[in-house]
Amino acid sequence: MTNASLTEADCRAIDRSDMAALIAAWPEQVRAQQAALDERPWPRRAAPSLLALGGMGGSAIAGDLVFALAAPRLPFPTAVVRDYRWPAAVAPGALAVLSSYSGGTEETLSLLGEAEARGVDLVGLTTGGPLGERLSARKAAWRGLPAGLPPRAALGYSVVSLARLLEALGDPGEGVEAWQEALEVLDQGTASLGPAAPEAGNPAKALARAVVGRAVVVHGAYGVTAAVARRWKGQVNENAKTPAFEAALPEMNHNEIVGWQALPHVHAHCAAVFLADPGDDPRVARRREVTADILEEEGIATHVVLARGKSPLARALSLVQMGDWTSYYLAVLAGVDPTPIAKIDRLKRALQAPASTEPGRNAR
């Protein structure tokens, strides 16, 4: 840890690429993409046998969130595939959504080629690039995202786009009132969680202060908050350059909870964050309480983050927003610019280069 202050001035000094402005733009992203899709909606079509989204990182997480929110309503299954190949169920009758912000993600382009070979219907979500070109050549519907952003900072655009795609497939959607409430909650969060809000009354700054210097394990519950936990994990990784992991109740109670036993010297270097939604099953809520007690007894600092809002949509997005700001302040406390992702860039360069022939390298 190299920085002790979270004043607005200190945040700006470290956040040289202005990630704060991108996080603060969450509500405007929602409004802008709603307007864009009002003008150019997805074409309506029959419900597929399976809706499968292929993407990676920030281009895939919207699928987790939107599909989890819609799961209680959808008459067809959904899947998010983070790989080079589809499962066998992605076959004619399914609909494949290719999501790549840049349009050049190699895994997503591989999925595109495989879907084409299988005769699977396609749609896409991208700023353009090779993905946009290939979808256009096939006359497949795709909707654009504003260019020039880190993919993880375009989530508002992607969430709206996928929610509207579901509606084009017959989903009644979250409803106008839920979206209005979500925007109100996000607007409130921008004011109360942003850098201008003093640390004394800023929950995101307080949580970052409490967990800084530790690996963070974010716990959700199967479904929506598990998807949000995955978003938190990625944001802490990319923004704060800090190890983070995700776990879901009740599953982790059947395995991972026992893992916090044999290495007590590690526990002081970890923090557990539990995402709590008032809509959680009462048994899950009870499991969360007992699990936190057990981890506390093992010397692991635990923290509970409560969702804000009445609708499931507002509550989910409030937790996403809280995670984005918390990861931002963790970056500031660590003295690292949240935006650059040097190790990912290095990995991509290495993958573009010929494989090493040095003995022992790349061996399996």
How far does Cα 330 stand from its chain's mean position?
17
Residues 233 and 197 in one domain: yes
Which residues are tagged catalytic?
238, 254, 348
Residues 190 and 163 in one domain: no
Collapsing DSSP states into helix, strand and coil, what is residue 198?
coil
The answer to whether residue 37 is domain-embedded is: no
Residues 100 and 245 in one domain: no
Other CB atoms within 10 Å distance of the CB of residue 299: 13
Residues 111 and 233 in one domain: no
Give 3-state DSSP helix, strand, coil % of the chain, rounded to 5.
50, 15, 35
Range of the domain at 90: 45-169
pTM listed for this prediction? 0.95
The answer to whether residue 355 is domain-embedded is: no
Residues 212 and 323 in one domain: yes
The number of domains in the chain is 2
Residues 186 and 163 in one domain: no
Task: Give the CATH number, domain containing residue 131.
Answer: 3.40.50.10490
**pLDDT tens per residue across span 132-178:** 999 999 999 999 999 999 999 999 999 999 999 999 999 999 999 99
**pLDDT tens per residue across span 65-122:** 999 999 999 999 999 999 999 999 999 999 999 999 999 999 999 999 999 999 999 9
What is the rounded CA–CA span in Å between residue 66 and residue 86? 20
Contact 155, 59 (CB under 8 A): no
Mean pLDDT on 199-216: 97
Q: How many CA atoms are closer than 13 Å to the CA of 84, on its beta-carbon side?
A: 1
What is the rounded CA–CA span in Å between residue 61 and residue 234? 9
Share of the chain above pLDDT 70, in %: 96
The answer to whether residue 220 is domain-embedded is: yes
User: 142, 169, 196 — which closes off a domain?
Assistant: 169
User: 115, 146, 169 — which closes off a domain?
Assistant: 169
Long-range contacts from 142-150, C-beta under 8 angstroms, 24+ separation = 142/98, 143/36, 143/37, 143/40, 143/42, 145/101, 146/32, 149/22, 149/101, 150/19, 150/22, 150/58, 150/238, 150/339, 150/341
Sign of CA dihedral 93, 99, 103, 104: negative
**pLDDT tens per residue across span 32-58:** 999 999 999 999 999 999 999 999 999
Residues 285 and 151 in one domain: no
Residues 159 and 241 in one domain: no
Structure tokens at 337: 């610019």
CA distances from 321 to 163, 177, 229, 359 (A): 18, 19, 12, 47
The answer to whether residue 114 is domain-embedded is: yes
Structure tokens at 97: 């959504």
Residues 160 and 194 in one domain: no
The answer to whether residue 347 is domain-embedded is: no
